[in-house]
Structure 1
Amino acid sequence: MAINKIESTQKKNYVECGIKFNKKSNGYYKAIIYVPYKCDLTKPKKRYELSATTVLDMREKIRNFMALSNKCDINLLFQGTLKEYALIWLSKKKEIAVKKGKIAGYQRTEYSFTKYILPKLGSINLIDFTPIILQSFINEYGSHFSKSSTDKVVTPIKQLFADAYESNQIPSNPALFLHGLNNQHYGIETKQVFSLTKEVQEKFESVCKSTFANGHLKYRLGYAYILLLNTGLRRGELLALQWKDIDFNKKQLYVNKAVVAQYEHNSVTEVLEKPKTKNSVRTIPLNNKAIDALMHLKELNKNSKWVVSTKNKQNISLDVFSSLLQKLQRKNNLPLFGAHVLRHTFATRLYEKGVRIDIISKLLGHSSTRSTYRYVHTSNEVLHEYMSKAILYNTEIELDE
């Protein structure tokens, strides 16, 4: 395809794919390209202007433009802003989510766009995005928010641009290699902690039970974390527990609801709902540590219907529960881990004691033991312990000649 270039009047010219561009007085780099209209040489050529803030960005824009113009697809590109495209994209996502009954996932995506992404990037034309623009936004966002929050913004951005590229709305996918900040930025070890070692667990439990000189607990939620360790409850299930769900006589508790976050536009609300699956509705026997934790929580939360509550007898939000856990860890030089690690640790300790995987699966509320196997993490210490007890025959292996 023939493509004409406008000769630059500037002293310094750059060239990419045969297209000249230069830096203007306003600091932007600019190139003007003429292409045949929808590959019909009998019609007037169409004029396109490309601009960028850096030479690298301009080179990439020209390469992307040329790739599509050679396919005669240039006129099929989306000629609008990210906000305009996102509204269309979200509408389609919502239709699919409603049909599949997965509206919660859609609400999280919509929340990320309306609250964080579109206010910063919404006015930029969809075809003008480059990897540098997107990664710079994520780097800035990640400097103010946690790793998990940043990842929740990265994911919908990657989804939108992947869909736009597959439907030929953009010449290339600028979010292909988009990533959140690495673990070191947040002071987290690269290797994630999946279950606590026995040594760390003992220290953690000791910290949770610690008191001031007057006998008052240092950490109001300390025994709530111990209860998680000894029941394998999910965070939302624990925060939904009411005293009517506890049977001290039979030494068991009933799981029949959970606190879940609902995302709508740019706000988040927490509601009580039925557990995520029918297997999540279950009865959990209580060991002595769990009963002791419940007795302390009963004393701490007098006149509250919630097992875990604030001083004002209100239920505690998911985020507050997790942030107070991290505060406890930082103050006591413990490794940083989320509340879900306590659930993994519960499963691992049972597995190490020889409890069958199908029993552990029922206690965790899993629909399949395949999920449960991901929750058990045997440490090297346990492996050495088992090997030291094992009787090994034929320690010398002879190979047949």
Structure 2
Amino acid sequence: MGKSLNGKELGTGISQRNDGLYQARFINRFGKRQTIYAKTLSEVRHKLRTEQCNDEKAVNVVDRSMTLDKWFDIWLDTCKKNCRNSTKGSYVTHYKRIQEELGWRKLTSLNLIVMQEAFNKLKTDNARKNSKKILVDMLNKAVDTDLLVKNVAKQINTVISKEEKKERRVLTLKETDLFLKQAKGTFYENLFILALETGLRVGELSALQWEDIDLKNKVIHVRHTLCYFSRNGKYVFEMHDTKTNNGKRAIPLTVKAINSLECQKLQ
């Protein structure tokens, strides 16, 4: 039982400090001692009941001062520890779009209106979509860690500009012939031919090594991709295995592709 300055019993966990301020303490569900302060006895009792009720309903959080910026660093270093550096770089890019508006805010203050206003300021629906993916995953982990009760970021609307999706355009046969005529004799001629004949992505083409190419069986084994991304303010190249198992594949070679590879090998 705690006591007031004049010796009056105040109840379990409640006491009065020498400066007259009342304080109440209890052990929350995380095993940590919480302390509540108030100027009057009735106020501190009310706050204590509220906090104990929140604790029982799992509404309270481990760290009330946790900001979104601080949580992003923890999320990236802990939850995404095994991701590629290039993938982490893309997470940083998508997060930076909303950092100025939301990064300084405490997790407990991130309501739907606050977040939607920040997303409305982004220039495109695609930017909103990518940044939402990062934020939703971050807050999902915050819920799993008992930092939040629910993830309201899931309700953010990303379709505002209603941009029309541009149809992918491919070169016609006539355009392909014209392109290769212009590329003839250049340093990249063989690379361009191989790209057109196989449909490989730029990163996959750049990562090709001779051990990946089986001219005897007329096939290319796609095993790696070359990534170009920012690290500590500088852009660097880094070789990685393909991101998924589906990315590892064997691509048959046409006669034209084989000729370009044989020419390249002679150079």
User: How does the TM-score come out when normalised to structure 2?
Assistant: 0.57
Aligned ranges 1:94-243 → 2 under 5 Å: 94=80, 97-98=81-82, 102-104=83-85, 107-108=88-89, 111-112=92-93, 115-143=96-124, 147=126, 150-181=128-159, 184-185=162-163, 187-188=164-165, 204-210=172-178, 216=182, 227-228=194-195, 230-241=197-208
**One-letter identity of the residue aligned with 2:103:** G
Q: 1:288 aligns with which of 230, 234, 255?
A: 255
Residues 8-42 of structure 1: CA distance to partner in whole angstroms, max 9, x if unpaired? xxxxxxxxxxxxxxxxxxxxxxxxxxxx9879998
The residue number in structure 2 matching 1:258 is 225
Alignment length (residue pairs): 224
Q: Does 1:86 align with 2:72?
A: yes
Residue in 1 aligned with 2:236? 269
Query: For 1:271, what is the secondary structure of its paired residue?
Result: strand
5+ residue gaps, structure 1: 1-35, 48-64, 194-199, 304-401
Query: Residue 242 and residue 269 in structure 1: after superposition, are their counterparts in 2 closer, same or farther (change >3 A)?
Result: same
Q: Give the alignment's Cα RMSD to 1 decimal.
A: 5.0
CA contact (8 A) 1:261 1:271 kept: yes
Find the residue that maps to 1:175 and give its secondary structure.
helix
The answer to whether the 8 A contact 2:59-2:148 is kept is no
List per-residue Cα deviations over 1:328-350 (Å, max 9, x = no partner): xxxxxxxxxxxxxxxxxxxxxxx
Q: Give SS of 2:182's match.
A: coil
Gaps of 5+ in 2: 1-23, 29-35
8 Å CA contact 2:227–2:237 kept in 1: the answer is: yes
Deviation at 1:154, TM superposition (A): 1.7
Q: 1:84 to 1:285 in 2, by over 3 A?
A: closer
Rounded Cα–Cα distance in structure 2 between residues aligned with 1:223 and 1:183: 42
Instruction: Provide the secondary structure at the position in 1 that maps to 2:141.
Output: helix
What is the CA–CA distance in structure 2 between the aligned matches of 1:126 and 1:234, rounded to whole Å?
Answer: 39
Corresponding residue number in structure 1 for 2:4: none
Please tell me the residue identity of whatever aligns with 1:290: A
Q: Relative to 1, partners in 2 of residues 1:108 and 1:151: Cα closer, same or farther, differing over 3 Å?
A: farther
Matches within 5 A, 1:324-363: none
Q: Which amino acid aligns with 2:67?
A: T
Maintained 8 Å contact 1:230/1:289: yes
**1:152 corresponds to which letter in structure 2?**
N
Contact 2:95 2:135 in 1 (8 A): no
Change (3 A) 1:173 1:256: closer
| Secondary structure in structure 2 of the residue aligned to 1:162 | helix
CA offset at residue 83 of structure 1? 1.6
One-letter amino acid of the structure 2 residue matched with residue 130 of structure 1? N
Q: How far is the alpha carbon of 1:131 from its aligned partner?
A: 1.9
Task: Measure, in 2, the Cα distance between the counterparts of 1:139 and 1:157.
Answer: 15
